[in-house]
A and B are shown apart, each in its own frame.
Chain A
Amino acid sequence: MAAFEPVLTKNVGKPEALTLKGYRQLGGYEGLTKALTMEPDAIIDEVKKSGLRGRGGAGFPAGMKWSFIPKGKDKPKYLVCNADESEPGTFKDRLLMENDPHQLIEGCAICCYAVSANTCYIYIRGEYVKSAVILEQALKEAYEAGILGDSVQGSGFKLNMYIHRGAGAYICGEETGMLESLEGKRGQPRVKPPFPAVVGAFGAPTVINNVETLCNVPHILTHGADWFKSIGTDERNTGPKLYAISGHVDRPGTYEYPIGVTFREMLDGAGGMWRGRQLKAFIPGGASAPILKPDQIDIKMDFDTVAKAGSMLGSAAVIVMDETTCMVRSVARLAKFFNHESCGQCTPCREGTNWMELVLKRLEHGEGTESDAQKLLSICKNIGGQSLCALGDAAIGPVKSLVDRFPEEIEQHVRERACPFPQPRYFENGA
């Protein structure tokens, strides 16, 4: 792989980027300045041309999303930035907000100008207090410098940007759940259509984009769509991408690569397997993504290749598991998560996630039966495609892949009437 200069994380580790002055010295707000000289539609075209796809999980083309917003300036429109990063294994947006808050503000401002939205809410998960404090400080500076407010950089375009803190609910990362939560309600997803581009926040047309997606935008404006397209795998998978790698690797962390880096390169970049152990399994895109086995070690980590392999890139949260890992215990933990986070609105998801957790727990405790694997598949079948939002489908991803790809491990739990893997101890003598 040719040398790659980080784009999104180039200011990470440079404390001066936290201040407006420092961010400007690092080339910041050039994208916004350029955008304000352009027609809004030309900005949307540029983002479309770049091929930028949503970095929050679904991979929907960002420029396309913006183009769905009705034209005209007579009615209110909103941008809601999705900073509710809650997918287990994902921690890249926190890095962007804590280290380079102005990059996000700039991306949001460009998007707002492009779709004529005068209000932007940054919906941050309630636990990210530090991110909220850092962003508040950056917003304050941006207001004082006239980058936000009644006339963005003297252009006459009015823009207010506010932080809105969540209160602990994974489902509020689902875009319509987030809108409900923003409006002061339980975060239960809405029936679609209508889509948020038509009826979004407070009944008005709304763009919802992930933090990382919006952070790409200033760079597209500054360097052009052709530059952006030159990074990545192909026409459908373009640009730089943050990969959050965790679990049994030597140096877990957020790594920036051109989208489509192979899993093997990424693993090497993270120092290889922890304690020199063997790779047993990896999740390529957060808790919702089906688990892959070591035979996929050379997979290109882009949206389409990972989908073809029967999983999904999702938020590119890569969780690595070594040979000592019990897959049943691991998937039982993910099932517990989805059961806890199901909003309770749709019966298949509410009841199904509960049963999945119960069956997996009894398997892990050696109380499973031979029919449990089939039972799990049957529950998956009854959840899949039967709920309003994607949480139901997300919940069955890891479970189905456990039954399909690790059947021998389930059988062993049943046969031996116990978990065959000793409970790992990570700390010697309790120290």
Chain B
Amino acid sequence: MSVHEPASMQPSGPQIRGGGLSDASRAEIDGLRERYPTSEAILLPALHIAQRQWGGWLPDEAIAAVAAELDLPVAKVYGVVTFYDLFHQSPVGRHRIRVCNNLSCQLRGAEEILEVLHQELGVGEDEVTPDGRCSFVHFECLGSCDTAPMMMVDDDYHESLTPNRVRQILKRLR
């Protein structure tokens, strides 16, 4: 039997520099090996684990560490990292905000939610606030169209938003 808590997108702490994968990350990756017939198939879960260790993004050293751990070429790992929207190659805020502005959310005011974030945080999309607290982006459909407009803060969905609710949510983020 093998049951594994899904790797959260929540960073585990301050960004770690140097030293490669932590013992905890390596143990987590090792725990996945029996699930798949190839070690290559562990790549996506391993990248989720590494991204959490490195504070929400994947600097070159994280990519190299994962490649070494799974015995894969670094170029191959880069190719995978660049393909997926949830893997980041530049620093992000401690809290990452994703606002869906696909059609269903656009039809219920998503653009105004993005405007509020821009005003309140004082940064543009994909930029990090000077205190490192937040970054925000617009995102493709997050599967919560019945509660539009909505946004995701780290792992959590915040639904049926209004500008004032967004302001309240931002206040709670440290």
Contact = CB atoms under 8 A, between A and B. Distances in A.
A265 to B, nearest CB: 18
Given A164-B45, A202-B38, A245-B146, A136 B87 contact: no
B38 A88 contact: no
| Residue with the greatest number of chain B CB neighbours at <10 A, chosen from A125, A133, A149, A183 | A183
A333 B106 contact: yes
Interface of A: 76, 85-91, 93-94, 125-130, 132-133, 136, 139-140, 143, 148-149, 160, 162-170, 181-187, 202, 244-248, 252-254, 283, 287, 317, 319, 321, 325, 329-330, 333-334, 337, 340-341, 343, 423-427, 430-431
Contacts of A319: 103-104, 107, 145
A247 B145 CA distance: 8
19 contacts: A88-B103, A88-B104, A94-B143, A127-B86, A130-B156, A162-B2, A167-B85, A167-B87, A169-B85, A184-B38, A184-B40, A184-B44, A184-B80, A185-B40, A185-B43, A325-B107, A330-B106, A425-B109, A430-B163
Interface residues of B, number: 57
B112 A425 contact: yes
B44 A167 contact: yes
Contacts of A423: 111
B22 interface: no
Interface in B104-143: 104, 106-109, 111-112, 116, 140-143
A129 B6 contact: yes
A252 B54 CA distance: 39
Given A129-B6, A136-B4, A246-B148, A330 B103 contact: yes
B145 A246 contact: yes
Contact of B83 (A76, A148, A186): A186
A425 B146 CA distance: 19
Given A202-B37, A337-B140, A427-B163, A165 B44 contact: yes
Contacts of A162: 2, 4, 35
A139 B162 CA distance: 36
Contacts of A426: 108-109, 112, 149
B146 A167 contact: no
B37 A76 contact: yes
A182 B41 contact: yes
A139 B3 contact: yes
Contacts of B79: 186
B23 interface: no
B169 interface: no
Interface in B47-105: 47-48, 79-80, 83-87, 98, 101-104
Contacts of B141: 86-90, 287, 337
A254 B116 CA distance: 29
B16 interface: no
A88 B40 contact: no
Interface of B: 1-9, 35-38, 40-45, 47-48, 79-80, 83-87, 98, 101-104, 106-109, 111-112, 116, 140-149, 152, 155-157, 162-164
Contact of B145 (A91, A183, A329): A91
Contacts of A163: 4, 6
B86 A252 contact: no
Contact of B162 (A86, A246, A431): A431
Contact of A167 (B4, B86, B109, B156): B86
A160 B3 CA distance: 10
A164 B103 contact: no
Given A183-B38, A202-B38, A333 B147 contact: no
Given A132-B6, A167-B87, A127 B143 contact: yes
Contacts of A94: 143-144
Contact of B86 (A126, A244, A287): A126
B89 to A, nearest CB: 13
A252 B163 CA distance: 20
A400 B109 CA distance: 26
B163 A431 contact: yes
Nearest to B154: A129
B137 to A, nearest CB: 11
Contacts of A430: 112, 116, 163
Contacts of A185: 40, 43, 80
A156 to B, nearest CB: 17
B168 to A, nearest CB: 12
A91 B104 CA distance: 11
A183 B143 contact: no
